[in-house]
Amino acid sequence: MNVLLLVAVITAMIIKHSAKGSEFPGLEADKIRIYLERLNKPAVKSINSPDGDIIDCVLMADQPAFDHPLLKNHTIQMKPSFHPEGVNEPKAKIQLWHMNGKCSENTIPIRRTTKEDLLRANSIENYGIKTHKNIPKPQSSNGFTNHEYAIARDPNGKFFGTKATINIWNPNVQTPNEFSLAQIWLATGGYQNSDLNSIEAGWQVFNQLYGDNNARFFIYWTRDAYRSGCYNLLCSGFVQTNNEIVIGGSFASPSSYDGSQYSVTILVWKDPGTGNWWLQMDGKNVGYWPVSIFTNLADGADRVDWGGEIVNLGTNGQHTTTQMGSGHFAEEGFGRAGYFKNIQVIDGSNNLRDPDPQGLVQIVSNQYCYNHKLGSVGSSWGTYFYFGGPGRNSNCP
């Protein structure tokens, strides 16, 4: 009897080790294979990126968006019917994969999901989704979750888009399942009725999701307080129309302290002709979130946020050393701190306008770990702010 018990224990240990190692046991391996076959669409060609990513050039009509039940008969909108600022000449934004090839015009580039990506996740079901409530809460709500913020919010009106230029950094992140990001949020609804709708876009460093510590362009969306929705193209929903930009792809050039500063300009706006929410990066239209996948956001957003966010897991009972922005506080200013500049919102007349700095709410979860500082009005940077911080330090235990 003791021998049988010992065999059972050893077998359980082997299976447990296998699930956390390089292979999944039987049923899990089949589940992984089916999941990857569903997510990774057939490629016209594939490109090996210098950062280790495999970029698949997938026919536009075969992209993951059309697995969504609400998009089965969707007709792709190839370009928006309206640009809030007219049509500008796009800037050349270099992602690392561009060094080794490009996708043809009838395809879109998609970062291939691998078995290793899934092994880093807590479970297949949690891969590519947020597992915590991620809209910042004002300090009056008696604290935060383990997500910490240094952001500005405009809560005063109805918004149909926003634009901002964000400088790109490569902050240190303490553990693989923590992250650091800088992004915009367009949101409406709340948690009480599980009707929170959110559109998010920016850059992030997130080892658990990508397997490295590169700064990457990312998007996120939800229609039901994060019960559904996902990062990038890891679930159906966002329709990509651009063959040059990988959502989830690494930027080639992050900023450096007291050195060169590199930035990305992100514009999200609601097309008045179709109601779809379009995404633009550095003047290039990337694609759109169809209005049909949302509930409250179908009528516009009631708040806009801009700023930084990190995850603090409190390893060993201490605050994380995960950095926000450059890892330096806002007071250090240009070339040393993270910034958002030329912040604008889109009003009901589809005009880009500067938000009223007096109406912006600053939300900082712990000013001794990370902070935020609004800039002066009337500069060439328009409405702007610096943000960031090192995390754990003598004032942030």
Q: Find out whether 178 and 319 touch, Cβ atoms under 8 Å.
A: no
In-domain check, residue 38: no
How far is it, in rounded angstroms, from Cα 112 to Cα 213?
Answer: 17
Q: Which residue has the tokens 């992140």?
A: 173
Widest CA span in the chain: 81
Reported as type and span, the H/E element at residue 345 is strand 338-346
On the 0-12 / 13-18 / 19+ scale of CB atoms within 10 A, 198 is: buried
What is the domain range of residue 68? 59-92+112-388
Catalytic residues: 200, 309
Contacts of 203 (CB under 8 A, 6+ apart): 166, 168, 181, 182, 183, 215, 216, 217, 218, 251, 264
Check residue 26 and give its pLDDT.
58
User: Per the structure block, which two tokens stand in for 135?
Assistant: 């809209």
Check residue 217 and give its pLDDT.
98
Check residue 124 and give its pLDDT.
86
In-domain check, residue 54: no
User: Per the structure block, which two tokens stand in for 305?
Assistant: 């946020």
How far is it, in rounded angstroms, from Cα 261 to Cα 264?
Answer: 10
User: Per the structure block, which two tokens stand in for 40?
Assistant: 């990774």
Check residue 297 and give its pLDDT.
95
Cα 245 from chain centre: 14
Check residue 16 and give its pLDDT.
41
Check residue 383 and give its pLDDT.
94
Q: Pick left, alpha or beta for residue 350 (phi over 0 → left; psi -120 to 50 → alpha; otherwise beta).
A: left
How far is it, in rounded angstroms, from Cα 308 to Cα 148?
Answer: 8
Reported as type and span, the H/E element at residue 287 is strand 284-289
CATH number at residue 283: 2.60.120.1270
Q: How many CB atoms lie within 10 A of CB 273?
A: 10
In-domain check, residue 4: no
Q: Phi and psi (nearest 5°) for 97?
A: -65, -20
Closest CA to 64 of 299, 248, 250: 248
In-domain check, residue 118: yes
Q: How many CB atoms lie within 10 A of CB 14?
A: 11
How far is it, in rounded angstroms, from Cα 33 to Cα 83?
Answer: 42
Sign of the torsion angle spanned by Cα atoms 304, 91, 220, 327: negative
Q: Phi and psi (nearest 5°) for 67?
A: -80, -10
Reported as type and span, the H/E element at residue 228 is none
User: Per the structure block, which two tokens stand in for 377?
Assistant: 């009005």
What is the model's pTM? Answer: 0.90
Q: Which residue has the tokens 């009725």?
A: 193
Cα 64 from chain centre: 17
In-domain check, residue 265: yes
In-domain check, residue 27: no
Would you give per-residue pLDDT tens digits along the chain (397 residues)?
444 443 343 344 433 444 444 455 555 888 899 999 999 999 999 999 999 999 999 999 999 999 999 999 999 999 999 999 766 667 766 899 999 999 999 999 999 999 999 999 878 888 998 864 545 554 434 345 689 999 999 998 899 999 999 999 999 999 999 999 999 999 999 888 889 999 999 999 999 999 999 999 999 999 999 988 999 999 999 999 999 999 999 999 999 999 999 999 999 999 999 999 999 999 999 999 999 999 999 999 999 999 999 999 999 999 999 999 999 999 999 999 999 999 999 999 999 999 988 899 999 999 999 999 999 777 889 999 999 999 999 999 8
Instruction: Supply the DSSP symbol for 125.
Output: T
| 3-state helix/strand/coil string of 322-377 | CCECCCCCHHHCCCCCEEEEEEEEECCCCCEECCCHHHCEEEECCCCCCEEEECCC
Q: Find out whether 315 and 225 touch, Cβ atoms under 8 Å.
A: no
Closest CA to 297 of 270, 267, 266, 278: 270
- Number of domain units in the chain: 1
User: Per the structure block, which two tokens stand in for 111?
Assistant: 């970062």
In-domain check, residue 303: yes
Query: Three-state SS for 138?
Result: coil
In-domain check, residue 97: no
Q: How many CB atoms lie within 10 A of CB 128?
A: 21
Contacts of 8 (CB under 8 A, 6+ apart): none
